[in-house]
Every structure is written in structure tokens, then in C-alpha cells.
Amino acid sequence: MTTIILEAHDLTKSYPIGDRMIPILEKISLVIGKGEFVVVIGTSGSGKTTLLTLLSGLDKPTSGRVIMDGRDITDFEENDLARLRNEEIGFVFQAFHLVPSLNALENVMFPAELKKDRQAREKAEGLLQRVGLWERRGHFPEQLSGGEKQRVAICRALINAPKIVFADEPTGNLDSKNSTAIIDLLAQLHKENGTTLVLATHSTAIADRAQRVIHLRDGCLTNETEI
């Protein structure tokens, strides 16, 4: 029986616009098993990014609960959430979110240094070698291509050996060649490390790589597909 690592129960998120509350997600319930590769697919505006931010503790739901590895994180204080995100969660953003003043090696090391990991440099060097960026370790983000920046971001997300990695449209700013390379890399790391991977995309080609596909439309689940 697969161990459950993530649960959502009736997740709802609404935002105020003027005197109205506009729903973004409505009563989303799902269960994700440890080590699964799950894709959340939907068009722009379907609620994919909002769902990932709620599941990862980057934002709080209007109502509903998020259970991660047996803990209800919905009402965690910000300090506890920050620790959880740094130590147990990796997040890969479409826009990379690298620190401009840090080189590639320093960007990857950063989460481990926050954790006061004495092996931060060693781990970062190993990850950069693994993704073919050793020769670029001293380069700053502005000196890297889009594909290189995303590989650095993936290394940063993985350095603390998270239990679960969220990736929000990780190929959205990349050309087709780099997009394929990034998905290949994420799939390889998922397979080798057994890390739970939850990836949001609008691409059916990427969804074909997953073990399970969750379909979102207008903030609602429509169906799920086992691959």
C-alpha cells in the first residue's frame, strides 16, 4: 500500500475584488502518495499555480485543510512554514527566482546554508556536476541561459533532499529543446531519488511523462488519469 505524503480536503481559495469574493479554487480534494510523479494540467487561469502554492504552504486557503506527511499544516505559524519549506519542500518556479547577486554555486548552496548544513558546498558542487553545470558554477544568473537558470533552480530545490518537489510551469520560459531537457532531468531525479514530484503545466506532452494526471478547469477538478 502506498504511503500518503500529501492530502487536500475541500481546498477553496477566493480573492476580494471590490466588494465581491472571486473564487479561484473550489473544494479541491486529492491524495498524493509518497514517490508519485503527479502532473496538474489545465489552461492558463485554471488555478494550477494557486493549487501548488496552497499545497506547499506558500499561501493559505480560504477554507479547507492541507495535510503533509501526517501533519495538518493549514494553521502553521509563518516561522514553522518557513522551516518546513526549507527543509522538506522544494519549489521550482517558471521565473527561476534566482538571487541575482549570487553565482550559480551560491544560489544552490543558499537553502542548505539557511539550514546550517556544513556540507552545503559539497552538496551543491555535486548537484551542479550532475546537471552539467560545473563549468558554469561561478557565473551569475544574468550570465546564464534560460535552461541553465532552470537547472540551477532545480539543484537549489533539491539540495536539502526534500520529501516533495513542486514545479510550477518549469518549462514555461524555455524553448522546446530546453523544455525537453528539463523534464528529462526532473523525471530522472524523481526516478533515482524517489522524490514525490507535483508538476503544474498546460502541456499534454509533459503530462504524458507522469504517473498520474490531475485535470483542473475553472478552479475545479474534472478528472484524473492513471498513466
CA–CA separation, 21 and 61 (whole Å): 13
Q: What is the architecture, at CATH level 2, of domain 34-60+77-226?
A: 3-Layer(aba) Sandwich (3.40)
Angle at 2 (CA atoms; ends 184, 171), nearest 5 degrees: 20
Residue 142 pLDDT > 80, yes or no?
A: yes
- Give the sign of the dihedral formed by CA 67, CA 115, CA 38, CA 147: positive
Considering the chain, what percentage of its residues have pLDDT values greater than 90? 80
pLDDT in the model for residue 227: 56
Grid coordinates given for 80 = 514553522
75-97 burial: b if 16+ Cβ within 10 Å, else e: ebeeeebeebbbbbbbbbbbebe
Mean pLDDT for 150-155 is 95
Sequence-distant (≥ 6) Cβ neighbours of residue 49 within 8 angstroms = 168, 169, 200
Amino acid at 185: L
In the chain, where the domains are located: 34-60+77-226
Percent of the chain that is helix, strand, coil (3-state, to 5): 35, 30, 35
* Chain segment 177-214, per-residue pLDDT in tens: 889 989 998 988 888 888 999 999 999 989 999 999 99
pLDDT in the model for residue 102: 98
User: What pTM value is reported for the model?
Assistant: 0.92
CA–CA separation, 28 and 26 (whole Å): 6
* Chain segment 19-49, per-residue pLDDT in tens: 899 999 999 999 999 999 999 999 989 999 9
**Cβ count within 10 A of residue 217:** 14
